[in-house]
Chains A and B, each alone.
Chain A
C-alpha cells in the first residue's frame, strides 16, 4: 500500500502538518464539500490550507494563545471543521459541543473548559451564548459563521467569521513568518482536542487527546481498511461525538479523503444519495431508521414489486451473507442472487445512497440481528467496531469477511486487551486519552498503573478470538455455580424480537436465570389478529397460552444462542412469566431514558420472583399503577409461569 503510506504521511504527527502536507501533495484535489443553496460547493486541500491559515492568524490577533480552549458549536460545516485545525495551529485546543444542548448544559461545559473564545454556526447558538453571558462573563469572543438575523446585534463580543478571516489575512501579510512559527511550535504530545463524555453517569468529563495519540488511532484505522484519497464520506453526526471527530476529521486528514457536509440535518439522507459515499459510519439507530423508511415505502409499492422484493430478500437471507464472506454457496442460489442484484439489491442500495459503499461501520450500541443481516445480505459491507471516547474508538474492528453479529471483532494492530477477573475489558491502545480535563481523580480511577484503560464494559473472547461485549461490568453478576451472569446481554437478545418490548432477567447469586417478559402490544396484537385470535386488551393478551407459546419460541432461540458459548451456557433462561402490565417510567420501573431499574422491579414484584424460583406454576399479584392523570389504581392478575427449553453446552441447536 505504497500510496497510502505517502498520503497518510508516515511520521507526521500533528494535525496542522498533515493539512499542510495534503496542500502540498494533492493541493488540487477536493478536500471538503458543502451543499449550499442547492449546489455542492467544494474546496481543495490548497484552499482549505489557506482558509485555516487566515483563520488561525485571525484568532491570534484576537488574543487566542497556546493552551487556550476554543468552543466550537454548530452543525457539520466546513468552516467549523477548519476552526479545529486553526485552533490546533496555534497550540490551542478545540472543544466541540453538542449543538442541541440547552443554554444551561452549555454553561457547565463553558465553565468547566474555561472557554473565552467560541466559534459558532448561527444566530441560534449566538442567542444561547448571549443568554448565559451574565452567568459566565469570561466568554469574551463569539465568532459566527452565518450572519443571518444578526444584523442588529451590537454586543461587543460578537464578530463574524468573514471579518475574523479578513483581519487574519491582513495580519498574515504583515507578519509573514508567524503562521509557520506557530505551527512549528505544536508538539505531538500537545492536547489536540477535548471531547466531552455524554455524562449519563454524573457530570460530563472532558477527555483530552494528544495529536500523536489521535493520529496513531486514525492511521491504524486507515491502514486497516485501506482508506485513500479517493474515498468519500458524508459527515452528518454531531461534531462533538468522538465518532464524527475520528471519521470526518482525523481519518480525513490522515487518509486525505473527501468530507461532504449535508445541506441540513433534514436533508442528510437525500444528500447521502447524491454523494454516494464509499465509507460510512453510523450508530445502529440510523441504520434502523433507513430500513424502516424502505420498508414503509415497500408496503406502498405495487403487488408485483412487493412480490419481487420479498422473493429476492428471501434469496439474500439464504445466501447473501455467505457470498459476501466468500463462503461456498450452491450454484442456483448464486445465480438467483445475481439476478436479485440486478432487480432488487442494486436499486435498493442506490435508494439507500449506498451504491458505492466499500466499508460501513456501526458501533456504540448493540445492533439487531435482522438489521445486521439485512444490510450485509444486500451486499453492503456493514461491520461492527468497538471503542470509547477515551480510546479514540481504536480498540476492535471486524476484519472483512469475518463479520459476526454478536462480536465486535478483533483487537486492532497495536492494541492490547486483557479481561480482568470480574470480566471487565481493559485496553491499552495507541489512541489512549491523555487525561480527563482537570480531573486527576477520574484519570487515576480509569487508567491502571500499568497503563490500561478500564472500559467498565464486561466481555470475553470467543473461540475464534473475537471480542464479545456483554454488559456494563457493574451490572454483571455471578450465578450460584460461579459462572458469569450478564443480564443486559440476555435482555438485549430477547428485546431484538419484535414481540418483546422489555425483559428483566434475574440470576445474580441464584442457581438459575429467570425472566420477566413485557410483550409489545402492537406487534403481538397484530400477530393475534392475523391468527384471528380475539382478545380484549393487554391483560388478556398477556395471559393467553398462545402468546406464552410464542414467547417460548423466542426464548428457546435465545437459549440456543447462549448454549453455543462456554461462558454463557449457564445463563440460559430456565423459567419465565409474562408481566400483566407494561413497565413504565411513571411507576418508577424504568428510568426516563427507558432503562430498567432492576433492583426496584425485583422488589416491587418480589412475590413473582419468589414464585419463579420456588417452582410454582402460577402466582396471584395485585399491582398499584399510576394513571397519566395522576389517579392511582390496582391491577390484579393471576400470572402463569412456564419453563423454557434449554440446551446443554456445546450442543448448538440450529
Chain B
C-alpha cells in the first residue's frame, strides 16, 4: 500500500573492496552503492561474504584494499565508533543483546552515543542529566510504540522468544536514530507470521523515518518483495547488481544461487 519510494543521491559507496583473512579471500574487488532512502539487499550463498561486507561498512573489519565513502567522506577504513557517530546502526545475525537487562534498558543503550552528560552526572541523576534522560526515554517510548513491544517493556530480554528478541534488537538500532541501518539476517529463524511482521516494520521504518536500509536475507520472497535494489555476492565477488526483476533474470545469479525456474 505504500507509494513509490523515492530514492535520492548516493549515500554510501564502496569501491573495489578486497578483504582477506590470511589466505582466505573473503571479498575481492566488490563495488556497489546505496542511495538515500532505499532498501538495499545483499544476497548470496553461505560464505559468499555478505556479513563480511556489512562488517567492512561499519568498520569491524578493515579491508586490505578499496575505499568506502559515506555521505561524501572518503575513507580507506571505517571504525565502528566513528560509523556509529556518523549514523550507521546495525543488528546482528546472532542476537547481541544484554540478556539480563530489560527490553527498555537494552533500547536505552542505543541512545548512549547521544548522551552528553558526564559519567558523574549520570551516576547521581540530577539536573542536566535528568532532563536528558527523560528526553531519551521519550524517544525510546516512541520506538517501543512503533515496533509494538509495549507489553514486554519491563521483561528481561533473556526470557523473550527469539522473534521478539530480533525486534528488540531492531529497536535498539533505531534508538540511535541512524541514517543508515544495517540488518544482518533480520528474519532468520522466524516463522511466516513473524517474517511478515518484520517486513512490515522494515518498510515502516524506511517509510516513516526515511532511514536507508541495507539488509542481508536468505528468504528470496522477502528480498524480492521489499527491496529496491539487490547486490548478489558469490565467493567474495559481485556477480549481480540491480532491481529485483533484473536479478531474477540474471544468468550468472540463477546459476550460482537462485536455481532454474520451473
Which residues of chain A have a CB within 8 Å of any CB of chain B?
Answer: 36-39, 127, 130, 148-149, 151-154, 263-264, 266-267, 270
Contact = CB atoms under 8 A, between A and B. Distances in A.
Contact of A149 (B142, B144, B153, B204): B204
B204 A264 contact: no
A266 B151 contact: yes
B121 interface: no
Name B's interface SS. Answer: helix
A263 B2 CA distance: 26
Contact of B141 (A38, A149, A152): A38
A441 to B, nearest CB: 41
A151 B207 contact: yes
Contacts of B144: 37-38
Interface in B1-28: 1-3
Contacts of A130: 1
B101 interface: no
B1 A266 contact: no
A269 to B, nearest CB: 9
A149 B146 CA distance: 10
Contact of A152 (B3, B145, B151): B3
A149 B207 contact: yes
A264 B151 contact: yes
A267 B146 CA distance: 15
B150 A152 contact: no
A134 to B, nearest CB: 15
Nearest to A123: B1
B208 A264 contact: no
A149 B148 CA distance: 14
Which 9 A-B pairs have CB atoms at the shortest separation, nearest pair first? A266-B151, A152-B3, A37-B141, A267-B151, A38-B141, A263-B150, A267-B150, A264-B150, A152-B2
A264 B148 contact: yes
A153 B2 CA distance: 7
Nearest to A131: B1
A38 B1 contact: no
Contacts of B142: 37
A130 B142 CA distance: 27
A151 B3 CA distance: 9
Given A37-B142, A38-B141, A38-B144, A148 B153 contact: no
A267 B138 CA distance: 19
B253 to A, nearest CB: 31
17 contacts: A36-B145, A38-B141, A38-B144, A38-B150, A38-B153, A127-B1, A148-B208, A149-B204, A151-B207, A152-B3, A152-B207, A153-B1, A264-B150, A264-B151, A266-B151, A267-B150, A267-B151
Given A37-B142, A37-B145, A127-B1, A149 B151 contact: no
Contacts of B1: 127, 130, 152-153
B161 to A, nearest CB: 13
Interface residues of B, number: 17
Interface of B: 1-3, 137-138, 141-142, 144-146, 148, 150-151, 153, 204, 207-208
B150 A266 contact: yes
A155 to B, nearest CB: 10
A38 B143 CA distance: 11
Nearest to A154: B3
Nearest to B2: A152
Nearest to B139: A37
Nearest to A36: B145
B104 to A, nearest CB: 9
Contacts of A267: 150-151
A144 B100 CA distance: 39
Contacts of A38: 137, 141, 144, 150, 153
A130 B1 CA distance: 10
Contacts of B137: 38
A19 to B, nearest CB: 29
Nearest to B104: A38
Q: Which of A149, A151, A154 has the most CB of B within 10 A?
A: A149
Nearest to A149: B204
A153 B144 CA distance: 24
Given A37-B142, A38-B141, A38-B144, A149 B208 contact: yes
A99 to B, nearest CB: 15
Given A127-B1, A152-B2, A152-B3, A270 B151 contact: yes
Nearest to A126: B1
Nearest to B1: A127
Contacts of A151: 207-208
Contacts of A263: 150-151
Contacts of A127: 1
Given A37-B145, A153-B1, 15 more contacts: A36-B145, A37-B142, A37-B144, A38-B141, A38-B150, A127-B1, A148-B146, A148-B208, A149-B204, A149-B208, A152-B2, A264-B150, A266-B150, A266-B151, A267-B151
Contacts of B138: 37
Contacts of B151: 263-264, 266-267, 270
Contacts of B153: 38
A479 to B, nearest CB: 50
Nearest to B154: A270
Contacts of A148: 146, 204, 208
Nearest to B5: A152
A270 to B, nearest CB: 7
B138 to A, nearest CB: 7
Nearest to B143: A37
Q: Which of A37, A130, A151, A152 has the most CB of B within 10 A?
A: A37
